[in-house]
DNA sequence: ATTATATTAGAACAAACGTTCTAATGTCAA
DNA sequence: TTGACATTAGAACGTTTGTTCTAATATAAT
């Protein structure tokens, strides 16, 4: 296990960077100056960084994922791999964390929109739905995921599956949340 | 802006929790004991926590998303909402961060698998593909995303789109990475 | 073996840390 | 107004922080 990996696992276990004292046993040293020396090396290598007060802060690569271009473009050669942009999944997917929830998808009503049973959807509450949004709606006491459509002032729900007919709500139509992202894990 | 939101934004800006001194201006206090008092309250409310040495650590809700059950089950009433499980997107989606990359999908060859053009895929390098995996493959110098199939010892690539025919590699077939997750943002 | 260099141990240091005490102030009900 | 309580300011405390120095040791080349 490299020093880098040890620090990363400490960071994820404690949700903060280790102090020099905590790095002593972690990096198998017996003096803080040895740690200081090792830390300087890691900083030179771009593994970690320091803030203006000397505290260690995680480098972006500790939390971010490298983003490449298109599938067709494929992977760059190791030489140019440094040019790759990085992205934080959390920041990318979550706007208002307080209002964001994750739901597991049941059924096949949105299969033509590429949302399959078992997928996870990130939904956000408290937003005003626009026509064309995918929403979580409460219809007659039950929850469903459908397209939210508004045509000629009339609101209805439409599945992304030809087997299902549009739903024209009889009573009230409560839009509980709006689907912001779909996540499928293999 | 509530104290909670101030701390969260500090945490995301500095990638660590603030010290008591840093909370002074943040919470508009002029003494550390006032901060200590406020921190105790926040801890009582479950907003933040402390480790065994008194340092502030972010509560799970600072980074995690609440997970509900099925779409059909919908949202629990506010009373039982505390029961909701939480999940960290990073931990959920990323196994080996060093080997993980993100690619933007071009084309419609995997549309029947629910992967559309413009989606992002999380791929991991250095894994041995199994039959049925979705992979990024280099065929004759170009990259494509296809199903990896192995039948009777023979390896070929198959699109999830009836318009495309299976690819039986003439020369070599290089599996560059395996698709671990699909992410679509609306 | 000898030299030069790189690394580590150990100690000392000022600065910053969270904690805790007293005193002052603010808040609210009676 | 009075009294009870909650909150804040300010100061002092012991501890831990990162830094920096010297001395000892390891490493590698000559």
Does residue A146 have an active-site annotation? yes
User: Is domain A97-183 annotated with CATH 2.10.109.10?
Assistant: yes
Higher pLDDT, A79 or B21: B21
| CB distance A129 to A147 below 8 Å | no
Residue B22: what pLDDT? 93
**Section A146-163 average pLDDT:** 90
**Shortest Cα distance, chain B CAs vs residue A33, angstroms:** 23
Q: Domain B1-62: which topology? A: Arc Repressor Mutant, subunit A (1.10.10)
Residue B79: what pLDDT? 47
Nearest residue on chain A to B182, alpha-carbon basis: A184
Percent of chain A beyond pLDDT 70?
91
| CB distance B114 to B165 below 8 Å | no
Write down the mean pLDDT value for chain B.
87
Is strand D less than 7 A from the beta carbon of A22? yes
pLDDT reading at B93 higher than 90: yes
Query: DSSP letters along A62-75, please?
Result: GT-EEEEEETTT-P
pLDDT reading at B109 higher than 60: yes
Q: How far is CA B79 from CA A22, A149, A174, B45, in A?
A: 41, 32, 19, 16
Is strand D less than 7 A from the beta carbon of A21? yes
Higher pLDDT, A150 or A171: A150
pLDDT reading at B78 higher than 80: no
Domain parsing of chain B, residue ranges: 1-62, 64-93, 97-183
By Cβ distance, the residue of B15, B89, B180 closest to A89 is B89
Six-digit token pair at A86? 């990085």
**Section B64-83 average pLDDT:** 65
**Shortest Cα distance, chain A CAs vs residue B64, angstroms:** 8
Residue A74: what pLDDT? 62
**Beta-sheet pairing, B142-151 with B134-139:** antiparallel
Residue A79: what pLDDT? 47
Query: In this structure, what DSSP letter does residue A98 have?
Result: G
**Section A156-169 average pLDDT:** 89
Residue A28: what pLDDT? 93
Q: Domain A3-87: which topology? A: Arc Repressor Mutant, subunit A (1.10.10)
Collapsing DSSP states into helix, strand and coil, what is residue B87? strand
| CB distance A70 to B103 below 8 Å | yes
Residue A64: what pLDDT? 80
Residue A71: what pLDDT? 67
pLDDT reading at A144 higher than 80: yes
Residue A84: what pLDDT? 60
Residue A110: what pLDDT? 92
Least-confidence region, from A147-151, A180-184, B76-80: B76-80
Higher pLDDT, A173 or A81: A173
**Section A9-15 average pLDDT:** 88
Under an 8 A CB cutoff, do B70 and A101 touch? no
By Cβ distance, the residue of B66, B100, B116 closest to A65 is B100
Contacts of A103 in chain B (CB under 8 A): 67-71
Residue A73: what pLDDT? 66
CB-facing half-sphere around the CA of B119: CA atoms within 13 A: 26
């Amino acid at each position: 296990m490299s020093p880098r990996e040890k620090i990363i696992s400490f960071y994820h276990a404690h949700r903060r960077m280790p102090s020099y004292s905590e790095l002593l046993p972690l990096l198998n040293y017996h003096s803080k100056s040895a740690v200081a020396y090792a830390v300087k090396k890691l900083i030179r290598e771009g593994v970690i960084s320091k803030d203006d007060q000397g505290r260690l802060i995680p480098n972006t690569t500790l939390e971010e994922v490298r983003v490449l271009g298109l599938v067709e473009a494929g992977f760059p050669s190791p030489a140019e791999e440094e040019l790759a942009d990085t992205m934080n999944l959390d920041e990318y997917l979550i706007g208002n964390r307080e209002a964001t929830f994750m739901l597991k998808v049941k059924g096949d009503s949105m299969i033509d929109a590429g949302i399959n049973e078992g997928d996870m959807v990130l939904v956000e509450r408290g937003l005003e739905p626009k026509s064309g949004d995918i929403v979580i709606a409460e219809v007659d006491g039950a929850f469903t995921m459908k397209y939210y459509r508004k045509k000629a002032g009339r609101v209805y729900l439409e599945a992304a599956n030809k087997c299902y007919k549009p739903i024209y709500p009889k009573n009230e139509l409560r839009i509980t949340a709006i689907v912001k992202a779909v996540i499928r894990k293999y």
